[in-house]
Amino acid sequence: MDELHIDQSPTELTTVTNLINEATEIVNHSVSSSETQYQTSPIYDLAIKTLATQLYYDRELSKGMSAGLLMMLDQLQGMVSGSDPDGT
């Protein structure tokens, strides 16, 4: 809420909480349905924040996911597939 400069009213808190939950589900399903080791990466948290922010300002993602978010998802997928051996 602070990063988005949003008032912490009960309505906004509910909205942002729901968007974070939705973003978490989308990121998880975009990376792997069975592996979870990528969830300890700082990129994972950043991807969720980025997607939640995008959803806050554009619920329909009318322009799709940003290039930066897609890059983060690629990095996380690399951790799962083993194509990123050092886990970064």
Residue written as tokens 């349905």?
33
Question: In this predicted model, what pLDDT tens digit does every residue of 6-35 receive, in sequence order?
Answer: 889 999 999 999 999 999 999 999 998 788
Q: Examine residue 2 and state whether it is found in any structural domain, yes or no.
A: no
Structure tokens at 16: 């942002």
Q: Number of folded domains in the chain? A: 1
Q: State the Cα–Cα distance between residues 13 and 43, nearest whole angstrom.
A: 24
Q: 72 lies in which domain range? A: 10-79
Question: In this predicted model, what pLDDT tens digit does every residue of 69-81 receive, in sequence order?
Answer: 999 999 999 999 8
Name the CA dihedral angle for 28, 32, 35, 39, rounded to a multiple of 10 degrees. -30
Q: State the Cα–Cα distance between residues 32 and 57, nearest whole angstrom.
A: 26
Q: Examine residue 85 and state whether it is found in any structural domain, yes or no.
A: no
Q: State the Cα–Cα distance between residues 79 and 29, nearest whole angstrom.
A: 14
Q: Is the pTM of this model over 0.85?
A: yes
